[in-house]
Amino acid sequence: MNTVDRLSTSELKMLRSLTQKKFRQREKKFILEGWRGLKDALNAGWRLDLLAVLRSYLDSADYAGLLAQAQQRRTPLREISEKELGEISMTVHAQGAVAIAHQRSVEPDELLAVREGLFLLVDGVTDPGNLGTLIRTADWFGAAGVVLGRGSVELYNEKVVRSAIGSLFHLPVAENVELVEFIKALDAAGASVAALAGDGTTDYRDVTVRPLTALVVGSEGHGVTPPVRAASAQVVQIPRSGKAESLNVAVACGVVLAHVRHTTPKKGG
Amino acid sequence: MNTVDRLSTSELKMLRSLTQKKFRQREKKFILEGWRGLKDALNAGWRLDLLAVLRSYLDSADYAGLLAQAQQRRTPLREISEKELGEISMTVHAQGAVAIAHQRSVEPDELLAVREGLFLLVDGVTDPGNLGTLIRTADWFGAAGVVLGRGSVELYNEKVVRSAIGSLFHLPVAENVELVEFIKALDAAGASVAALAGDGTTDYRDVTVRPLTALVVGSEGHGVTPPVRAASAQVVQIPRSGKAESLNVAVACGVVLAHVRHTTPKKGG
């Protein structure tokens, strides 16, 4: 690994520009930080333009396998300095590697082609940490895909990517989807669609689980928007035993997805 | 409300100093931001030294009730400027009010006096947002108390206080507790104690629920520490259906607490 070139000025400039949303959207690329995400991206066959690594990691046997895998995939490998990495990475404990990855565009129709499984629909979640945690939670419970409505935070925001911890590469995520239309299409496909709301009318343990089931979660402040709520066949809530104002959206999502996953789907239910 | 004094130099200095952990620990006080937390603190009879509010809120009918409640409790009320508030509050959308509150010291023995209920034990959680969300989740599911081990982030860190959204005032939280000793005392009181771990040996749906039940969660990176794990009668896990590396600690906690809360305790079980 001693022949690795230093990051060029233009490559550093590209990395820097991708810390901004407008450049991510123009280039259709994003920044991936850390080894865990890199491993998942490589294993998922995600397209990478560049991998920049601190000297100490280039010489470490622990990372040789991953670096070889990236090189087999013809990903240009560069050495980056601590200072340059600090400019690009938002993480306090930068993990020594950043990559430029291509965004993957998922069409709603691709997701609707899935006839069995669990979907998470996200209606206006604005906190990037919450969105990343939602994607990771959906992945843990084996969701077939995640669908983001128009009001949600940008999928390739670095905090979303970081808090999803690789799950972004495990399941398809569609962005900027018209959720009411999507729910209508799910209904037509025989799905059970349940929105989650603090004032829902149905206990989440009574949610209808079908081979195709979708859970809709809303924004931290305002919940699911009225048109999306109206389009959902059920509005479920998690009973409160204490005094908390609300549950965090990712926690609430986890509680319901665990229940749905651990309930046997009723055919034609 | 037109006769409210401006914040004095010494009051501003005290507010500024309480943004630092060492001063919070020395003074045994902390900063409370926003109206929601203020309402919960007042309702819980929490001791406040000062309440500083933007001019526009002082004149707003919407907040008159809360301000009157604070004044009945003899809390000095001051006007703060946008600039001063910006120096103290970490929140992008500062909510127009900050207070100085006294820390409340909860002894483990006070919690052990509770003979029935649900406890959350926190072993080394370092992310303040996660700790706040854990407290909020425990509150939602009606926990009798939260117990923090020595390795956890400081309870009165502003991000913990903010993400707990008032739940800090709803249930007792003990800090710097020797968890192995606490678990032994819970055992002696007939409690069921279950640690949560990715490689746990028991499915969380098989957790033993007794009138007194405790769930132990560990740090984001390393999980429950070996001595605490060894002291716990059960080590439970949440089955994974997908490929995510892990569940967020607050999400995992929510899944198990929901199950425990929604399971009827078996007397003597």
What are the 10-residue block averages of pLDDT along chain B, 269 residues in total?
A: 85 96 97 91 94 92 93 94 88 78 95 93 96 98 97 94 92 97 97 97 96 96 96 98 95 98 63
Contact yes or no for B171 and A138 at CB 8 A: no
Nearest residue on chain B to A254, alpha-carbon basis: B251
Distance between A269 CA and the closest CA of chain B, angstroms? 22
pLDDT tier, A94 (very low <50, low <70, confident <90, very high otherwise): low
Nearest residue on chain B to A242, alpha-carbon basis: B142
Cα separation, B50 vs B78, in Å, equals 8
The conformational region for residue B140 under phi > 0 = left, psi -120 to 50 = alpha, else beta, is alpha
- Exposed/middle/buried for B34, CB within 10 Å: 0-12, 13-18, 19+? buried
**Residue A88: is its pLDDT beyond 70?**
yes
Contact yes or no for B241 and A141 at CB 8 A: yes
Cα separation, B39 vs B69, in Å, equals 9
pLDDT tier, A221 (very low <50, low <70, confident <90, very high otherwise): confident
Out of B171, B205, B247, whose CB is closest to A137? Answer: B247
Is residue B264 less than 8 Å (CB to CB) from chain A? no
Q: Are B210 and B117 in contact (CB under 8 A)?
A: no
- Exposed/middle/buried for A71, CB within 10 Å: 0-12, 13-18, 19+? middle
What's the 3-state SS for chain B? CCCCEECCHHHHHHHHHCCCHHHHHHHCEEEEECHHHHHHHHHCCCCEEEEEEEHHHHCCHHHHHHHHHHHHCCCCEEEECHHHHHHHCCCCCCCCEEEEEECCCCCHHHHHCCCCEEEEEEECCCCHHHHHHHHHHHHHCCCCEEEEECCCCCCCCHHHHHHCCCHHHCCCEEEEECHHHHHHHHHHCCCEEEEECCCCCEEHHHCCCCCEEEEEEEECCCECCHHHHHHCCEEEECCCCCCCCCCCHHHHHHHHHHHHHCCCCCCCC
**Angle between helical axes of A64-72 and A35-43 (0-180°, round to 10):** 40
Nearest residue on chain A to B145, alpha-carbon basis: A242
Per-residue pLDDT tens digits for A230-240: 999 999 999 99
Domains in chain A: ranges and CATH? 5-102 (3.30.1330.30), 108-261 (3.40.1280.10)
Cα separation, A46 vs A103, in Å, equals 9
Give the mean pLDDT of A117-131.
96
**DSSP three-state, residue A161:** helix
Cα separation, A59 vs A55, in Å, equals 7
Out of B165, B170, B247, whose CB is closest to A140? Answer: B247
**Percent of residues, chain A, with pLDDT higher than 90:** 86
Out of B137, B141, B242, whose CB is closest to A141? Answer: B242
Cα separation, B46 vs B89, in Å, equals 20
**Residue A269: is its pLDDT beyond 50?**
no
Is residue A4 less than 8 Å (CB to CB) from chain B? no
- The CB-side HSE value for B70 (13 A sphere, CA atoms) comes to 28
Contact yes or no for B247 and A254 at CB 8 A: yes
| Cβ-based neighbour number of residue B184 at 10 Å | 13
Is residue A126 less than 8 Å (CB to CB) from chain B? no
pLDDT tier, A2 (very low <50, low <70, confident <90, very high otherwise): low
pLDDT, position B269: 38
pLDDT, position A210: 96
Q: Are A133 and A141 in contact (CB under 8 A)?
A: no
For B:178-237, CB contacts with A below 8 A are: 205
Cα separation, B23 vs B194, in Å, equals 36
- Give Dmax (Cα) for chain B: 64
Is residue A142 less than 8 Å (CB to CB) from chain B? yes
Buried b (16+ CB within 10 A) or exposed e, B114-145: eeebbbbbbbbbebbbbbbbbbbbbbbbbbbb
Cα separation, A140 vs A137, in Å, equals 5
Is residue B143 less than 8 Å (CB to CB) from chain A? yes
Per-residue pLDDT tens digits for A32-61: 998 988 999 999 999 999 999 999 999 889
Query: Across chain A, what does the average pLDDT equal?
Result: 93
Contact yes or no for A167 and B253 at CB 8 A: no
Nearest residue on chain A to B165, alpha-carbon basis: A245
**Percent of residues, chain A, with pLDDT higher than 70:** 95
Residues in A touching B241 (Cβ below 8 Å): 140-142, 261
**DSSP three-state, residue A98:** strand
Distance between A31 CA and the closest CA of chain B, angstroms? 20
Out of B141, B163, B251, whose CB is closest to A133? Answer: B251
Per-residue pLDDT tens digits for A158-183: 999 999 989 999 999 999 999 999 99
Cα separation, A108 vs A100, in Å, equals 25
- Which of A27-36, A91-100, A207-216, B36-45 shows the lowest per-residue confidence on average (mean pLDDT)? A91-100
- Counting one residue from A and one from B, how many pairs have CB atoms under 8 Å apart? 124
Nearest to B196 by CA among B107, B94, B121, B102: B121
Cα separation, B247 vs A133, in Å, equals 8
Is residue A138 less than 8 Å (CB to CB) from chain B? yes
Distance between A249 CA and the closest CA of chain B, angstroms? 9
Residues in A touching B167 (Cβ below 8 Å): 242-245
Residues in B touching A205 (Cβ below 8 Å): 262
Residues in B touching A120 (Cβ below 8 Å): none
Residues in B touching A241 (Cβ below 8 Å): 140-142, 261
Structural tokens at position B37: 């937390």
Residues in B touching A166 (Cβ below 8 Å): 244-245
A29-33 sheet: strands from edge to edge: A5-6, A77-80, A48-54, A97-102, A29-33
**Angle between helical axes of A128-140 and A249-261 (0-180°, round to 10):** 10
Nearest residue on chain A to B37, alpha-carbon basis: A245
Q: Is the ipTM of this complex over 0.95?
A: no
